Each structure stands twice: as C-alpha cells, then as structure tokens.
Amino acid sequence: MAARPHGLEGQCSSSKLEGCKRLRFSSVFTSSENPSKDPQRGSYSCSCRSSMEDSSLVPHAAGTSNRRATAPPTENRSPSASPQSVTSSSTDRPPPTGRMEVIRANLSSEGLSQTVSATILASWRPQSNAQYNSAWRRWASWCLQRKLDPVHTPVADFLEFLQQLFDEGLSYRTINGYRSAISSAHCLIDNLPMGQHRLVKRFFKGIFGLRPPRPKYNSTWDVGKVLGFIKSLPDNRRLSLRQLTLKLAMLLALVTASRRASLTAIDVDNMTRSSDGKYRFLLVKPSKCVSVSKPFHQIEISKFQPVRNLCPVRSLEEYLQRTQHHRGTGSSRMTQLFLSHSKPFHPVVPSTISRWLKDLMSQSGIDTSQFQAHSTRSASTSAAARAGVSTSEILKTADWSSASTFANFYHRHLPLSDFGGAVLSSATQQL
C-alpha cells in the first residue's frame, strides 16, 4: 500500500485541503487538531481517498485490486456551507474509526449503493480481513494516543509506528502486513497509497537488510513417523469417529500437500469418482491462491494397495459413510467434507483442521512445539522430492506456480544426524 511524501515535498493546494474537510467520516479530529495542518510537521498533499488495497504489498492475499474512493464533487455542497461549519457538524456524530467502516464510508462518498459497496468489500478474503482489521486497530490506538488522525497521517508518523514494530522485534513479513492493512484504508497521499511512498519503500529495504525474512523451518520432520503411527491403528471400522477424522485429515494433507484452508474447502458435491477408484475434488471455494486468471485447483486421491491401513480412499469412503446421517437433507444439507466429530456435527474451520493435524503429529512423536500444522506441506513435498518425484509434479500437486517457492520455503532436509558423534564413538570403541 502506498503513500505520498507529505511534509517533505510539495504543498497542499487549498482545494485538496477543503476536500479533506468535506469528508466528515474520515476526520477523527477537528480542524485545529488535524495533523496534516500542523505547521511544525509541514504540509502534505492528501487526496482524501482510501487506497482500498494494493495487492503488490499483500504478502499472502491474491485476487484483490487497488480501489480508491474520491471525495464527493464540490458542486454537491451547499454554497453557504463553509469548511468551518462542516467541521463543526462532524462532531455531531462520531466518525468511523474501524477499518471496514472507513472504507465503507469512502465508498458511500463515491455515491455507491450499499449492495455495490458490499460486493467491493467482498474482494478481501475473510482471513485477510481479520488480519488487516487487527493491525488497523493497533494502528488506530497508536494514533489516538498521540492525537493523530489514523486516516490522515503524515508519512513521518507512519514511519515512527513501523519503527516501533521493528524495535519490538517483529519480522519483515509481519511489519509488511501492517503496511498493507493501514494503506488499505488510509487516505491517498499525492494519489498514491501510503505504503508506496518513496520513504516507506526505502524504509522496508532497510528492514530487509537489517532483519531479512528467514524460512520458518530449516529442516522438516519424517513423514514415516506419522505414517507408522497411522499404520499401527486398528482398521477404519474399529476407529472412533474422532480417530477416523484425524486420520483422514492427515492422510489428505500428506498425499495432496494441501493447505488447511483447502482441506476445509473440500465439498462432497464437487466430488467425482473414476472407474479406477480415484476421487477428484474441485475446490471452487475462493482461497488464497485463486485469482481471476488462475483456475480453481483440483485435488486427486488414489488407492494405495500395498498397505490397506494407509489407503486414503478407504478412509475417505468409511468417513463418508459414517457422517452421512449427520449431514442432513434438503437445503440444510451440509456438503463440506470435514464436520466436527461431536455434536452438533457442524462444518469446521481451518483452525480446527490445524488442531487435528497437530494432535496426530504429537501422538506420532513429532515435536509440535517446533513444527506447526502447516509443516505438513513441507514434510510431504520434501518426502516426494527425496523419492524422485519431479519438481513439476510437486508444483502441480501443491498448487505452486514457481519452483522457487518450493525451493526457498518448503523443500527441507531431515534433521542431520550426529555425524561427529558417530565418528568419535566408532573411534572410541577401537581404542
């Protein structure tokens, strides 16, 4: 998200400043408190439009676009209304301070209907919205403590906030998330999002040099441990629904290298079964990597004959049979594959899938204080690479578009053995 040089280069035109005053919903302070007019900080050109979002700054969100809300045309103003009278009336009702409220108000100022605004707001994924709103709340609190307007803030103050995050030890990616969240609702500076201001971009280059992003894991865990534990379990028909649910979730996570959100998105109404016993699921629910130009991902599950207890197809069929009467009928029928394994048997969310995976990993002897549920993607794809599966097949299965994604963030070796200890031990035995 981007911003403009305010207080550093160029002066605000009077028409632009009047535009700021007209937007009652986005001004948290009266004109005497507005930081954009602080003579000690200097002036800056604020176009009073929310950047809505700059997808180039969103580290984990796709399919969003830059949308900017402009101030209402001046001809709609009453000729007798002065900037002072408008500012005074703005105190009659509290201005919106929540991120979505600010964006919604900006869209309304464009003359857009509530239904059109709702469609535009739907461009943010629910998970991205939750992360952005959390970041915005901290930013707004920081601004209000300093009597700053979180919607019209000079770049210097924005950089001070980012510096505080950096001093707290937050990572490059986390700080970049704050940058994106704030820029999505902050007023444009010289017609650019706050996060794209030249000093902000240079600041992030500095962060990258001082604290470069590092892979979360330097090694991965052995899928053989988890598969060995699953193999030791009783036959599917003798498992409790909870055991069967955790087993199926783990097998699908490993054989499809799917994200937890993708496992949640599996729908039985989008399932097909081929004559050779393969099951295919088309993931039509919007996800992190789905965009207008990228087709929906399809996952495939095949039979595994050598070890029946490790066959994902057998586990899937048993699970479908067990949960059939929990799904309901008619319009209330639940079609999401994974349901909670206890009453009221409702569709689960990605965080529930994560708990299931970590639970089974822990039972298998994997250190879950080091490895989280998402590590199943690294463990499974790394195991496939060690087994000789081609990189192109791994990218297709895991739904990655670039080999560098796999190489830089997911392809990990198993923890090194104590080579030096083994050498010394063998030498000691000969002495």
Predicted TM-score of the model (pTM): 0.63
**Quick check: helix, strand or coil at residue 408?**
helix
Return d(Cα 191, Cα 3) in angstroms, integer.
8
Q: Are 394 and 255 in contact (CB under 8 A)?
A: no
Q: Are 44 and 12 in contact (CB under 8 A)?
A: yes
Tens place of pLDDT for every residue, the chain, 431 residues?
444 444 333 344 334 333 433 333 334 443 334 444 443 443 445 555 555 544 444 444 333 333 333 343 444 444 333 333 333 334 444 555 688 888 888 888 888 998 998 898 888 877 788 889 999 999 999 999 999 999 999 999 999 999 999 999 999 999 999 999 999 999 888 788 999 999 999 999 999 999 988 777 778 899 999 999 999 999 999 999 999 999 999 999 999 999 898 999 999 999 999 988 899 998 876 555 555 556 678 889 999 989 999 999 999 999 999 999 999 888 889 999 999 999 999 999 999 999 999 999 999 999 999 999 999 999 999 999 988 999 899 988 888 888 888 887 788 877 655 556 556 655 555 55
Stretch (H or E) spanning 267: none
Q: Write down the domain spans for the chain.
A: 14-210, 223-410
Return d(Cα 374, Cα 234) in angstroms, integer.
27
Q: Which tokens hold the place of 262?
A: 């993708």
Query: Helix 350-363 and helix 223-232: axis angle, to 10°?
Result: 80
Sign, Cα dihedral of 11, 15, 17, 23: negative
**133 CB burial (10 A radius; 0-12, 13-18, 19+):** middle
Give how far Cα 306 sits from Cα of 231, 303, 310, 311, Å: 12, 9, 8, 8
- DSSP-assigned letters across all residues of 334-380: --BS-B-SSTT-PBP-HHHHHHHHHHHHHHTT--TTT--TTHHHHHH
**321 CB burial (10 A radius; 0-12, 13-18, 19+):** exposed
Say what the pLDDT of residue 72 is.
39
Say what the pLDDT of residue 239 is.
97
Say what the pLDDT of residue 116 is.
92
Superfamily name with CATH number, domain 223-410: Intergrase catalytic core (1.10.443.10)
| 187 DSSP β-pair partners | 50
Say what the pLDDT of residue 59 is.
43
Say what the pLDDT of residue 46 is.
59
